[in-house]
Amino acid sequence: MRTVDVPGAFRLIVPGNVRALDPAPAMFDAMLRGWEQQQGSRLLTKKTIGDRLSLVRRFALFTGTYPWEWTPEDVEAYFSHQMSGDSPLAHSTVRGQQCDLQMFCAFVSDGRYGWAAACEETFGTVPVQVCHDWNTADHVAGFEGRPGRRALTYDELQTLFDAADDRVEHARKRRRKGVPAAWRDAVLVKQIYAYGTRRRETSMLDLPDLRHNPRAKAYGRFGALEVRHGKASRGSPPKRRTVLTVPEVDWVVPVLEEWVDEVRVGFSPSGHPALWVTERCGRLGVRRIDEVFAVIRDHAGLPQELELHCLRHTYITHLIEFGYPERFVQEQVGHVYASTTALYTWVSDEYRNRLLEASLARRLERMDGKGTGPR
C-alpha cells in the first residue's frame, strides 16, 4: 500500500537525512510521536492520548521488546499479569486497554503510514496485529463495573450526610481552621447526589451555571444546574445538559444558597468563577473530590467498596422510585441510551413491592367490576 502524507506518517515524523545511533529506541519513540499526531487529528483529548501512549510504553517495558518484535503470546502474558495479584484490574479496564493496544498495532502495521516499510528496511521485520479475538476479552456484559459499585440505600445516604455534617461540628468544637473546608465538603456530596453529576462535571461547575427555572420560581437561582462539561463522545466536545431541581430533593436549595452566599466567600475566591473552590482559591479537582467522598464515607463507617460514582447510581435509582419517566431520568443524567440508564438503576425491594401491590390492586378492581374472579 502506498504511503501518503497523513498525520502520523513515518516520513512526516522521521527526517530522511538522519540516521539514529541506536535505531530501535529511536524508531519506537518516533512511532509513539506519530500515533500521538494521528490521534490528535481525530480531536481526541490530551488525557485519552496520554493514557494510550502510557499503556504502550508499559507494554513494551513488560515485554522488553519493540512493536516489530511483539507476538500474541506477549499480549496474553501481559494481561494475565494485570489480572493477577491482590488488586487485579477491572474487566472494563482490561478490555479498554486491549482495544487501545489493538489500535496502536493497527496504526503501525497500516501501510499508509509507512512504519512497516521502515521497520522492514531497518530491522528486517515488520510490526503485526497481535491482538485477536482469541486473546482479547469480548464485551458480552452490559455492566462491567465492580460488584461493590451500587446505589446507596436511603439509610446509607442519610448516614453519609450525617457524617459530613458531623465533620463540620467536630471541626467547629475543636476550633480548627478546617470548618469552611469541612462545610464545603458536606455541601459538595449533597450537590452531587441532588443533581447526579459526575466528578469532572462537578469540578467544572461555575457560579453562572446555577440557573433559574421559570416553572419552579420558588427555587430562585437554584432551579436548575447547567452542566457544560458532560462526558464527551470520541473526538467530540463536552456535552451539555440542564439538570432540573426536582421537588424531592429541594432541601438542597437552602444548602447551596448558604454555601454560595455565606461560606464560599470565606475562601476569598476573588473573581474565580468556580462553584467549588480550594483553600488556595483554585478549582477543586476531580482527585480531591474523590478524596472528599472517601473521607466522609470512612467517617460514616460505610463499606469501602462504595465510590463517589455510587451517588450518581443512587440519584438515578431514586428518580425512578419517585415515579419519574425513564426518558426524563435519561435527560437529567445525560445518557445517550436508555439502556445505560437502566444499568445504573438499583430499585429497592420496597419499591418493587409497591409496584406489585399496585398491580394486584388494579387486577382486583377489574375482577370486582366483572363480579367474578378467575377459577
* Residue at which a domain ends, from 123, 143, 173: 123
104 is written with which cell numbers? Answer: 496502536
Over residues 70-121, the pLDDT tens digits come to 999 999 999 999 888 778 888 888 999 999 999 999 999 999 999 999 999 9
Q: Where residue 20 falls among pLDDT bands split at 50, 70, 90?
A: confident
Report the CATH number at residue 162.
1.10.443.10
The rounded distance, in Å, linking the Cα atoms of 244 and 6 is 45
Report yes or no on 173 lying in a domain: yes
pLDDT of residue 337: 74
pLDDT of residue 358: 72
pTM of structure: 0.74
Residues 253 and 325 in one domain: yes
Residues 98 and 158 in one domain: no
Residues 15 and 106 in one domain: yes
Domains in the chain, number: 2
Report yes or no on 133 lying in a domain: no
pLDDT of residue 9: 93
* Residue at which a domain ends, from 102, 123, 144: 123
User: Within its chain, how far is the Cα of 45 from the centroid?
Assistant: 14
Over residues 170-183, the pLDDT tens digits come to 998 887 778 999 99
Could you tell me the maximum CA-CA distance found in the chain, to the nearest angstrom?
Answer: 96
H-type helices in 204-251, by residue range? none
Half-sphere exposure (Cβ direction) of 24: Cα atoms closer than 13 Å? 10
pLDDT of residue 375: 43
The rounded distance, in Å, linking the Cα atoms of 223 and 307 is 27
Q: Where residue 338 falls among pLDDT bands split at 50, 70, 90?
A: confident
Over residues 178-234, the pLDDT tens digits come to 899 999 999 999 999 999 999 999 999 999 999 999 999 999 999 999 999 998 877
Residues 220 and 339 in one domain: yes
**What share of the chain has pLDDT > 90, as a percent?**
66
For residue 201, give the H/E element and its range: helix 199-203
Report yes or no on 142 lying in a domain: no
Over residues 351-363, the pLDDT tens digits come to 666 667 777 777 7
pLDDT of residue 349: 60
Contact 308, 295 (CB under 8 A): no
Residues 87 and 228 in one domain: no
Q: 44-81: buried (b, 16+ CB within 10 Å) or exposed (e) per residue?
A: beeeebeebbebbeebbeebeebbbebeeebbeebbee
Report yes or no on 199 lying in a domain: yes
Residues 34 and 166 in one domain: no
Report yes or no on 132 lying in a domain: no
* Ordered DSSP codes for 108-121: HH-TTT-HHHHHHH
Residues 218 and 297 in one domain: yes
Residues 85 and 215 in one domain: no
Residues 100 and 209 in one domain: no
Q: Where residue 4 falls among pLDDT bands split at 50, 70, 90?
A: low
The arithmetic mean of pLDDT across residues 141-147, rounded, is: 55
Partner residues linked to 224 by β-bridges: 211, 244
Partner residues linked to 242 by β-bridges: 226
pLDDT of residue 179: 92
- Asked whether residue 142 carries a pLDDT value surpassing 80, the answer given is no
Report yes or no on 81 lying in a domain: yes
- Asked whether residue 373 carries a pLDDT value surpassing 50, the answer given is no
Q: Minimum mean pLDDT among 107-111, 330-334, 371-375: which range? A: 371-375
Over residues 121-138, the pLDDT tens digits come to 999 999 999 999 888 887
Report yes or no on 327 lying in a domain: yes
Residues 203 and 303 in one domain: yes
Over residues 23-60, the pLDDT tens digits come to 999 999 999 999 999 999 998 989 999 999 999 999 99
The rounded distance, in Å, linking the Cα atoms of 244 and 196 is 11
Over residues 304-323, the pLDDT tens digits come to 999 999 999 999 999 998 98
Q: Mean pLDDT score of the chain, rounded to an integer? A: 89
Beta strand 210-211 pairing with 224-230? antiparallel
The rounded distance, in Å, linking the Cα atoms of 12 and 96 is 29
Residues 296 and 158 in one domain: yes
The arithmetic mean of pLDDT across residues 341-360, rounded, is: 68
Report yes or no on 330 lying in a domain: yes
Domain interval for residue 236:
154-344
- Asked whether residue 237 carries a pLDDT value surpassing 90, the answer given is no
Residues 206 and 337 in one domain: yes
